[in-house]
């Protein structure tokens, strides 16, 4: 399982440069989401390298977005981790130390406005997409549809702003199962290469302060994400792992972005064709009606007892002359 990228220190920038040089010449593959992931569960669990697990029991799973006045994740944490502390921001990257209210400009990640672990500076779509440096943008394979991109913004807001996410910190999080060797409730700074206390070779597992592990996410949320992105393109390296893609350079050739003007032109052309077809059919129909009326066989009339059809049809002759109509009846 791979963490989010480290802060952009000189040491880390040098490491990134070496990785980039070593990866030059590699091919990178862009595919549609539906050709990378089997379903929403596969998307959420694979893309983030085990940070999330998908759960179908909604009383025991978090949502990455909400519109309620009260955060529904509060109740989930109370159920799953009644002794967990969500009054602190346990993840440590761009995060605050404590969740606090944000101002009126805090609109992108608005569900967390009243108690946010992120600031307005990081919480906007453009900032969230580029915050972690080259390789971590979600649109490396071309511009995403708005519906698809919205889910990436929501996940980023959730990671940056939610105090509940900190319960699932991989190293030092409250939620780690003691029987799970992939995490620990204890953080050891000597195992963290970005800590001043780091001792090289001292630990079997490299610790950090920003990685998440196995946070339960609602299945319906992940299914909706998959549906929204099914026909968008994403990096298919490492089975669609966000972090596997970030380690691969050069960037993929973006898929052609959808031209909104072209789409509008196509829609207008289709509309004009439909209207023209309908108009032609209507003209033909009216012509048939007129011909039938002229020949004394109108399409629409109610038979009158004792009258033959030619006598009845006379009322539909549209010569405009009262004498002609009278003559037709004679």
DSSP string, 93-162: SS--SS-B---TT--TTGGGTTSBSS-TTT-SHHHHHHTT-TT--TTTTSPPPHHHHHHHHHHHHHHHH-
Q: Where does the pLDDT of residue 270 fall: very low under 50, low under 70, confident under 90, or very high at 90 and above?
A: low
248 sits in the region (left: phi over 0; alpha: psi -120 to 50; else beta) called: beta
First to last CA, the chain: 98
Q: Which residues pair with 218 in a beta bridge?
A: 55
Are 187 and 209 within 8 A, CB to CB?
A: yes
For 39, counting Cβ atoms within 10 Å of its Cβ (0-12 exposed, 13-18 middle, 19+ buried), the class is: middle
**CA distance linking residue 285 with residue 280, whole number of Å:** 9
- Collapsing DSSP states into helix, strand and coil, what is residue 184? strand
**CA distance linking residue 116 with residue 94, whole number of Å:** 12
Question: Region 196-207: what's the mean pLDDT?
Answer: 91
Are 245 and 136 within 8 A, CB to CB?
A: no
Alpha helix (H) residue ranges in the chain: 10-23, 33-36, 40-47, 72-80, 125-130, 146-161, 219-229, 242-246, 260-294, 309-313, 322-329
So what's the pLDDT on residue 17?
A: 39
Question: Region 194-213: what's the mean pLDDT?
Answer: 92
Q: Where does the pLDDT of residue 328 fall: very low under 50, low under 70, confident under 90, or very high at 90 and above?
A: very low
**Average pLDDT of the chain?**
79
Query: For the chain, how many residues are written?
Result: 330
- Collapsing DSSP states into helix, strand and coil, what is residue 322? helix
**Cα angle at 170 between 108 and 201, to 5 degrees?**
130
So what's the pLDDT on residue 247?
A: 82
Instruction: Identify which has the larger pLDDT, 42 or 279.
Output: 42
Instruction: Identify which has the larger pLDDT, 301 or 19.
Output: 301
Question: Region 20-46: what's the mean pLDDT?
Answer: 79
Radius of gyration of the chain from Cα atoms?
A: 33
Range name among 88-102, 118-132, 307-321 with the lowest pLDDT average: 307-321
Question: Region 197-223: what's the mean pLDDT?
Answer: 94
So what's the pLDDT on residue 4?
A: 54
Are 11 and 196 within 8 A, CB to CB?
A: no
HSE toward the beta carbon, residue 320, CA cutoff 13 A = 0
pTM for this model (two decimals)? 0.69
Core vs surface per residue 166-183: b (16+ CB within 10 A) or e = bbbbbbbbbbbeeeeeeb
pLDDT above 60 (res 41): yes
**CA distance linking residue 293 with residue 172, whole number of Å:** 89
So what's the pLDDT on residue 14?
A: 41
Question: Region 241-257: what's the mean pLDDT?
Answer: 68
**CA distance linking residue 313 with residue 150, whole number of Å:** 65
pLDDT above 60 (res 209): yes
So what's the pLDDT on residue 132?
A: 85
Question: Region 10-23: what's the mean pLDDT?
Answer: 40
Percentage of the chain surpassing pLDDT 90?
55
Percentage of the chain surpassing pLDDT 70?
67
Are 244 and 238 within 8 A, CB to CB?
A: yes
So what's the pLDDT on residue 66?
A: 96
pLDDT above 50 (res 2): no
151 sits in the region (left: phi over 0; alpha: psi -120 to 50; else beta) called: alpha
Question: Region 252-268: what's the mean pLDDT?
Answer: 48
């Amino acid at each position: 399982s791979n963490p989010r990228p480290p802060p952009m220190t000189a040491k880390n920038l040098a490491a990134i440069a070496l990785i980039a040089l070593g990866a030059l010449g590699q091919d990178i593959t862009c595919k549609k989401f539906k050709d990378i992931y089997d379903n929403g569960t596969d998307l959420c669990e694979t893309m983030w390298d085990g940070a999330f697990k998908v759960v179908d029991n909604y009383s025991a799973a978090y949502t990455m977005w909400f519109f309620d006045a009260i955060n529904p994740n509060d109740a989930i944490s109370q159920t799953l981790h009644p002794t967990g502390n969500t009054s602190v921001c346990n993840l440590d990257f761009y995060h605050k130390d404590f969740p606090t209210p944000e101002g009126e400009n805090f609109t992108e990640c608005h569900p967390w406005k009243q108690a946010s672990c992120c600031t307005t500076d990081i919480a906007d779509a453009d900032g969230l997409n580029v915050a972690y440096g080259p390789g971590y943008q979600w649109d490396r394979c071309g511009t995403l549809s708005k519906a698809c991109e919205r889910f990436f913004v929501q996940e980023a807001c959730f990671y940056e702003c939610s105090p509940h996410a900190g319960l699932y910190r991989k190293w030092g999080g409250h939620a780690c199962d003691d029987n799970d060797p992939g995490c620990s409730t204890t953080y050891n700074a000597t195992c963290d290469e970005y800590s001043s206390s780091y001792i090289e070779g001292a630990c079997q597992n490299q610790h950090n302060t920003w990685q998440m592990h196995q946070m339960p996410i609602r299945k319906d949320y992940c299914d909706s994400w998959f549906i929204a992105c099914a026909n968008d393109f994403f990096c298919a390296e490492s089975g669609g792992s966000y972090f596997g893609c970030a380690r691969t350079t050069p960037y993929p050739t973006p898929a052609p972005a959808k031209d909104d003007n072209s789409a509008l032109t196509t829609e207008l052309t289709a509309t004009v064709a439909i209207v023209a077809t309908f108009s032609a059919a209507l003209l033909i129909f009216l012509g048939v009606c007129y011909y039938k009326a002229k020949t004394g066989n109108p399409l629409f009339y109610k038979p009158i007892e004792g009258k033959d059809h030619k006598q009845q049809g006379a009322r539909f002759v549209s010569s405009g002359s009262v004498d002609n109509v009278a003559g037709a009846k004679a």
